Amino acid sequence: MNEALIRYFPCVDYAPCWQAMRDFTDARSPDSRDELWVLEHPPVFTLGQAGKPEHVLNAGDIPVVKTDRGGQVTYHGPGQTVIYLMLDIKRLGLGSRGMVSAIEDSIIAFLADQGIEAASRDDAPGVYVEGAKIASLGLRIRRGATYHGLAINRDMDLAPWQRINPCGHVGQPMTTLEAQGIHLPRENMEQQLVTVLAKRLGLTPRTAPAPDWYNGDNSIPTD
């Protein structure tokens, strides 16, 4: 199995994290180890490469960042775990569709372990519980490697989702682990999901410290 470094962060601003993903992908060689970055972002809307601005209905005080992943518009914020996947998919023997399926299947398997029945959809990437979206995903593949990844809603405020058409779908209902009766501590939940994800992708996970580009926890104020 391929070893992958797992890096956990409390909270990271979107822009420097995105730049770090691109830098990592540009610098990697066929011998570079894969990495998963597990984190939260402060509130931000991100618009995919072919995203339509009209799907942002009322951003208000939440910034909108035009990014280079696939998909339309999504929201990141406190109470949501984001896992960025810097993977050599050629080495893993996966194509783009296989990669998407592996991510979705991992989330579905994690939820099944918690007693929650979930499913993917052919017409809209992500994972759904009774029609409500609990996890989103969007990837970029460059130089035979992926970056960006998945986001799963733990116990987040869902109000900002009403300011957009989530992933370009008008009126798409959203849900959270908490709303489904899952009350795992963040650290436990993230470790469990990473374990399932790594197994599905054929990776041996090894926890590693934060990289040099990370200069603080960017903690969200809790006044």
Question: Could you confirm whether 11 is annotated as catalytic?
Answer: no
Residue 79 near residue 50 (C-beta atoms within 8 A): no
Lookup: tokens for 209? 């410290």
Q: What separation, in Å, do the N-terminal and C-terminal C-alpha atoms of the chain show?
A: 45
Residue 206 near residue 4 (C-beta atoms within 8 A): yes
Q: Which residues fall in the annotated binding site?
A: 69-76, 136-138, 149-151
Q: Hey, is 166 helix, strand or coil? A: helix
Lookup: tokens for 2? 């391929």
CA 182 to chain centre: 19
Please identify which of the residues 167, 196, 198, 203 carries the catalytic annotation: 167
Rounded Cα distance, 115 and 56, in Å: 34
Rounded Cα distance, 214 and 16, in Å: 9
> Which residues touch 86 (CB under 8 Å, ≥6 apart)?
21, 24, 25, 28, 34, 35, 36, 37, 145, 146, 147
Q: Give me the residues paired with residue 7 across strands.
A: 37, 208
Tokens 């060689």 sit on residue: 29
Q: Which residues fall in the annotated binding site for substrate?
A: 69-76, 136-138, 149-151
**Which residues form the catalytic set?**
167
